[in-house]
Amino acid sequence: MKKIKKSNLRLDPGSGEKVDALYKSVITAGTHLAPSIRVAEAAKVIENSQRDINIAFVNELKKIFDRMNIDTMAVLEAAGTKWNFLHFKPGLVGGHCIGVDPYYLAQKAQEYDYHPEIILAGRRMNDSMGNYVAGEVVKRMIKEGLNVKDAQILVLGITFKENCPDVRNTKVIDVVKALKEYGTHVTIYDPWANPEEVKQEYGVDIQTCKPTQKFDAVVTAVSHKEFEEDTSGSYLKECGVLYGLKD
C-alpha cells in the first residue's frame, strides 16, 4: 500500500473560511467560524452537557416536590415568570447527543487527571429516572388498591424524544424493564417508532395502532402530538393510574 505523506493530509489554510462560506449559503440563521476543530467540538459537547445538567436539576426538583406533594410543573410555571429563569422540564434523557456527550467530556477530563463532579452527577440523576418513574407508578397503584403483579400497564412512546422516529439510546426502555421487574405486563404504543428497529435494538414488541383494551396504569413517556390530541385517561380502567413526568 502506498504510504500517504503527512503533507497530503493537511487542510488548506483557507479551508475553514471556504466551509463557513458554504454553510452561510444555505443556513439563514447564521454561522460562527470557530478558530479550530477542537474548539468547535468542545463547544458542541458543552452545549449538550449544559442541557443535560439543567434537565438533571429539574429532575431532582421533581423528586423533591413529589415527596412534598407539590405540583412540579406549577412550580416551574411560576418560576418562569421571572425574566431570567431557564425553562427546562423533567424528563427521560436519551438520544445520541445529550445522553452521550457528557460522558465524552468526562472521559477526556479524566485523561487530563481531572475528575468532573457536576457533569457526572447530572448523568447519574438523569440515568436514574427510568427506575424512578416505574417506582412512582407502582406506588400510586398500591395507594389505589390495585394489584401490581400481573397488572396491565400501557407505556405511551418509546422514541427518545417527541414527534420523531429516533429510538437511539432511549431511556423509555429503562421504565419498561423496571415495570416488568415488578411482575407487570407492559404494552408499548408508539405511532412514530419502527417496530422492527425497536425489536432488534431492545428486544421488545411495540404496537403502532391505538390499543383497544383498558389498562391498570398508563405512563406517558413521550409527548407525541398524537398523545396530546388523545385523552390518555381513555385507556384506563376504573381507578386506574395515569402518570407522566410532565404532568
Q: Which are the catalytic amino acids?
A: 97
How many Å apart are CA 164 and CA 192, to the nearest integer? 6
CB 236 within 8 A of CB 215: yes
Q: CA torsion sign, 158 to 164 to 165 to 169?
A: negative
Q: Pick from 49, 45, 40: which is nearest to 122 by CA? A: 49
How many Å apart are CA 91 and CA 78, to the nearest integer? 19
CB 95 within 8 A of CB 168: yes
